[in-house]
């Protein structure tokens, strides 16, 4: 499967979204404003969570393939409550993560909580997961200060794939009747999610295009105009709706950390285009991602077919 974002792009976007998060913190009238998607949290709580999580993942990547769980950083300073100091602490958290990922490279093995999914246990897949957690939390922070911005197209399209690969695929048996669910975005991607007694798997559908030229880095002037379950990463994700997605999925991208041969996702060879579909969801990639993370209702998308399947996906927790 053709990659969506390369490792260098992932690192660039981690840096960009982290800077956007800090900009939201800088714009807030107070660090005590509430975060609407996580109403029990203040903006300071969200910033503390984001920074501590990136430091833990930096330590986990740095620990190498021998790590057997998420690694707690040692002698790390706590998040300061003074705004300017907090901004510096957040910037250093991002730097630690990016430094660890650059040092490791995309192909080195790394512990992660998604071992039963189609996402591989590599540093590239960790970078991909980090980008999308940071992106959703940046949206949360912007919402808290009253200035939400849509997810950038290149982040949103890759975010939909990454969510599907990581949270909607598993070797655990689907507890209902076998089913097929499709997801479509106008940015040139469609995916199919098979659910059966063998588990759940995802493939990009034949005919799905590449990213728009602007998202891929071309000059835009040259281009044409479910509330979540806790994931297996209990230490980082149990209390956080951005880390507790509405359903589970998986996606492939060579350097972005999802090898097509491992995922078994050759959609053309499988002849998926002619397969019957039980339900589908259609909407802009940014809306699909926000719906996946419970930021907007699934009904914000165009849903067709058996809608009970979406309820079943939201309720299903293969790790339980």
State the pLDDT at residue 273.
Answer: 54
3-state secondary structure 181-233: EEEEECCCEEEEEEEECCEEEEEECCCCCCCCCCCCCCCHHHCCCCCCCCCCC
State the pLDDT at residue 210.
Answer: 43
Pairwise CA distance, residues 54 & 69, whole Å: 15
The alpha carbon of 254 is separated from its chain's Cα centroid by a whole number of angstroms, namely: 17
CATH domain 7-315 topology? 1.20.120
pLDDT tens readout for residues 121-155:
999 999 999 999 999 999 999 999 999 999 999 99
State the pLDDT at residue 3.
Answer: 55
pLDDT tens for the chain, 320 residues long, are 455 799 999 999 999 999 999 999 999 999 999 999 999 999 999 999 999 999 999 999 999 999 999 999 988 899 999 999 999 999 999 999 999 999 999 999 999 999 999 999 999 999 999 999 999 999 999 999 999 999 999 999 999 999 999 999 999 999 999 999 999 999 999 999 999 999 999 999 987 654 333 333 333 333 333 333 333 333 343 335 455 443 333 333 333 343 444 444 444 444 555 568 999 999 999 999 999 999 999 999 999 999 999 999 999 988 77
The answer to whether the pTM exceeds 0.75 is yes
State the pLDDT at residue 248.
Answer: 37
State the pLDDT at residue 234.
Answer: 35
For residue 158, the tally of other CB atoms under 10 A from its CB is 30
State the pLDDT at residue 1.
Answer: 42
State the pLDDT at residue 233.
Answer: 38
**C-alpha separations of 248 from 193, 300, 310 in Å:** 10, 19, 11
State the pLDDT at residue 4.
Answer: 76
State the pLDDT at residue 262.
Answer: 40
Pairwise CA distance, residues 235 & 18, whole Å: 21
State the pLDDT at residue 171.
Answer: 97
- 235 pairs with which residues across the strands? none
Query: For the chain, what is the radius of gyration of the CA atoms?
Result: 19
Secondary structure tally for the chain: helices H, strands E: 10, 7
């Amino acid at each position: 499967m053709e990659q969506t974002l390369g490792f260098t792009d992932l690192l660039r976007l981690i840096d960009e979204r982290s800077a956007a998060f800090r900009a939201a913190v800088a714009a807030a009238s107070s660090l005590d404003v509430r975060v609407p998607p996580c109403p029990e949290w203040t903006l300071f709580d969200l910033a503390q969570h984001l920074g501590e999580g990136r430091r833990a993942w930096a330590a986990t990547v740095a620990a190498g393939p021998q790590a057997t769980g998420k690694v707690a950083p040692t002698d790390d300073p706590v998040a300061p409550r003074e705004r300017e100091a907090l901004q510096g602490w957040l910037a250093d958290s991002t730097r630690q993560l990016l430094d660890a990922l650059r040092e490791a490279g995309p192909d080195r093995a790394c512990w992660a909580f998604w071992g039963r999914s189609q996402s591989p246990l590599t540093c590239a897949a960790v970078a991909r997961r980090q980008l999308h957690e940071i992106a959703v939390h940046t949206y949360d922070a912007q919402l808290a200060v009253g200035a939400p911005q849509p997810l950038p197209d290149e982040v949103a399209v890759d975010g939909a794939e990454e969510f599907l690969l990581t949270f909607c695929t598993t070797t655990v048996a689907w507890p209902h009747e076998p089913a097929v669910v499709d997801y479509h975005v106008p940015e040139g991607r469609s995916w199919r999610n098979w659910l059966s007694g063998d588990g759940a798997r995802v493939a990009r559908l034949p005919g799905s295009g590449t990213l728009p030229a602007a998202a891929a880095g071309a000059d835009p002037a040259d281009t044409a105009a479910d509330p979540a379950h806790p994931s297996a990463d209990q230490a980082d994700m149990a209390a956080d709706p951005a880390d507790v997605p509405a359903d589970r999925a998986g996606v492939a991208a060579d350097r972005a950390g999802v090898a097509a041969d491992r995922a078994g996702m050759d959609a053309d060879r499988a002849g998926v285009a002619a397969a019957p579909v039980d339900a589908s969801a259609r909407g802009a990639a940014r809306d699909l991602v926000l719906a996946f993370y419970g930021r907007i209702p699934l009904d914000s998308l165009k849903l067709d077919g058996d809608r009970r399947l979406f309820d079943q996906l939201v309720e299903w927790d293969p790790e339980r």
